[in-house]
Chains A and B, each alone.
Chain A
Amino acid sequence: MKRIAILIATTGGPVLVDRITPEPAPQSMVCLRRQSDVLPISADYDDFVRAGSGVIMREFGPYEEGAFRLDVSGPIGTGQSWQLGVFAAHAIFKSETAVLSDLETADLIVWLTGTVDYDLNVADVDHMAQKVESSAFVLADYIAKGTPILFGAGLENAQFLADHRPPEGITVCPLNTTHDLLEILGLVANVPETVAEESERSSKSFILMAVLTLAALVALYLFLVKDHAEEEVLQVQTPLEINLTSDRGKNPIFFFGDYLNLMVEVSEAAWVQCFYAQADGKTFRIYPNDQVKEVTRFEPNRLHILSGGENSSFAIKLGPPEGREEVACYASLQNIDIDPARPPKDSVVDVLHFDLKP
């Protein structure tokens, strides 16, 4: 049995389809982390499943039970771009040659975004750059590990991905219909498993290379900022800029117990300080801190991971109070203490807002 992990790309980070279970209930539901939290997309998922309005029962049914419970690893907001990933997950659930997998033990990771209409056409969706950006941190681990990764999307979305030259280990697949995807995954009878097999072969040599996680992350990052980097080469001098993001993108949602992984990029060599503002109004500095071995200037145009890096053996675990919180990172050409209430004029700032929930 081939183990395939399905990731639904969202702007808040990739969401793993954990499990599908037929249920003796009238309506299908999407649940968060096997808990009783029902996601708001459940009504749309029920329509997508139901015979008549949807395609899942029509393509993969009949099932004894009339509904499914789909468990996912993280929240999925509004929109319909989850449909392609959910369709693939149901195809695997129905298959006798493949099973849904977690990321750790997957033979193949499939990252998907797109809508699926009643005729099984795959359509393009928005926010591609954000979705890739918010997936970088998670995928980097598995690129380094050598797990083959497949990016599947509609034709224009796939072109966008291909234009940005993804790092080795990622195969971009343009999809006209869901049949294209099933062929690629080897889930259609008598169809050679072209990409999947090729990916498996390349993964073996890739493992031997034993590429470090950080290197992969940098590669992914370069993939993301390629356009910006090309622009910068043409300019003799650039003003100081700072870009702050997280492993879950620019507008993430976190829950108590989650780890906040921040990533910073500066356009010129600069000193960076970051401050965390809690929902209750308290503000404290989170970078640098006493766990940072050596405080140095950040090199320009490369991704700096603030927590968990070689130079900074700390992690930021989120806890109460709940609410809208923010992290502000300041970059300055001078090594001075920054007061976030009155930052120096020559410093620049980028702010990451996020919701923290119990």
Chain B
Amino acid sequence: MTEIVISPDLKDAAQTEFGALDQQRDLMQARGGAGLALSRVYGYVEGGTDEVVAHALQSDLAVRRVYQNLLRRQALFHIPQAIAASSEEYPMRHCTGCRVRLQASRAQEDQVYLIIELADQRSDSPTRLNLFGVDEVFASVDLPAQRNGVIQTLLDKDSSQARLLADPKTEIILR
């Protein structure tokens, strides 16, 4: 027989966890129509590919909020909104162990390098960059593998990802 024991030390944490899950279930059910299983959103958070979830993230605010909540707790790196404004075109964003920056391409003026520098060469390097802008705008970038502590790819300067990265108010979550 399986026995479940909640020690006094874990009780608060467990209540918080159950509260968050309950809130997410409410959000998902409030969508109306065909619901999206929370497990699918969780699978997407974990790096899985799911076109339905990807589409829902663009079109459904409730799904986007659930995704954001799950991501915050599963993040490898989390860079919250910057408090101070920046005068730079592409402000460098950073948190412990990670720096995210854009660098204009010399060859193509309409493109920018996305450069993510990791302090540790960790085995679980991030595979997706998630960007949550003000007004709950969302965009993401699937990342190539890190090499020598650097993840680098190219973005179009006019893309939603580049625009969000240029805004210090954008919340960045790497998973």
A25 to B116, CA, bound (A): 11
Which A residues lie within 8 Å of B155 (CB)?
36
A38 contact from B107, B108, B115, B153, Cβ within 8 A: B153
Which A residues lie within 8 Å of B47 (CB)?
none
Q: Which of B104-126 contact A (CB under 8 A)?
A: 105-108, 111, 113, 115, 117
Which A residues lie within 8 Å of B150 (CB)?
26-27
B140 in the interface (beta carbon within 8 A): no
A27 to B107, CA, bound (A): 14
Q: Which of B131-175 contact A (CB under 8 A)?
A: 144-145, 147, 150, 152-156
A24 to B154, CA, bound (A): 13
A29 in the interface (beta carbon within 8 A): yes
Nearest CB in chain A: distance from B4 CB, A = 48
A131 in the interface (beta carbon within 8 A): no
Which B residues lie within 8 Å of A21 (CB)?
106-107
Contact A38 B144 (CB under 8 A): yes
Give 1 or 0 for each of B70-85: 1 = CB within 8 Å of chain A CB. Answer: 0000000000000000
Contact A25 B107 (CB under 8 A): no
Interface size on B, residues (CB 8 A): 18
Which B residues lie within 8 Å of A42 (CB)?
144
- A38-B144, A43-B147, A46-B147 known; A23-B107 Cβ under 8 A: yes
Q: Identify the closest chain A residue to B152 (Cβ).
A: A27
Q: Identify the closest chain A residue to B110 (Cβ).
A: A36
Nearest CB in chain A: distance from B168 CB, A = 22
A34 in the interface (beta carbon within 8 A): yes
Contact B144 A69 (CB under 8 A): no
Which A residues lie within 8 Å of B86 (CB)?
none
Contact A23 B113 (CB under 8 A): yes
Which A residues lie within 8 Å of B103 (CB)?
24-25
- A38-B144, A43-B147, A46-B147 known; A19-B153 Cβ under 8 A: no
A265 in the interface (beta carbon within 8 A): no
Contact B153 A24 (CB under 8 A): no
B152 contact from A19, A26, A34, Cβ within 8 A: A26
Contact B107 A69 (CB under 8 A): yes
A36 to B156, CA, bound (A): 6
Which A residues lie within 8 Å of B117 (CB)?
26
A217 to B31, CA, bound (A): 62
Which A residues lie within 8 Å of B115 (CB)?
25-26
A42 to B103, CA, bound (A): 18
Which A residues lie within 8 Å of B106 (CB)?
21-24, 65, 69
A27 to B153, CA, bound (A): 9
Contact B111 A25 (CB under 8 A): no
A71 in the interface (beta carbon within 8 A): yes
A327 to B115, CA, bound (A): 42
Which B residues lie within 8 Å of A122 (CB)?
none
Contact B105 A23 (CB under 8 A): yes
- A25-B113, A27-B147, A43-B147 known; A19-B156 Cβ under 8 A: no
A89 in the interface (beta carbon within 8 A): no
Contact A25 B152 (CB under 8 A): yes
Contact B147 A38 (CB under 8 A): no
Contact B154 A29 (CB under 8 A): yes
Residues of B within 8 A of A (CB): 103, 105-108, 111, 113, 115, 117, 144-145, 147, 150, 152-156
- 5 A–B contact pairs at CB < 8 A? A23-B113, A25-B115, A26-B150, A43-B147, A69-B107
Residues of A within 8 A of B (CB): 19, 21-27, 29, 31, 34, 36-38, 42-43, 46, 65, 69, 71
Apart from A23-B105, A29-B154, A36-B108, what are 11 other A-B pairs with CB-CB below 8 Å? A19-B107, A21-B107, A23-B106, A23-B107, A26-B150, A27-B152, A36-B155, A36-B156, A38-B144, A38-B153, A43-B145
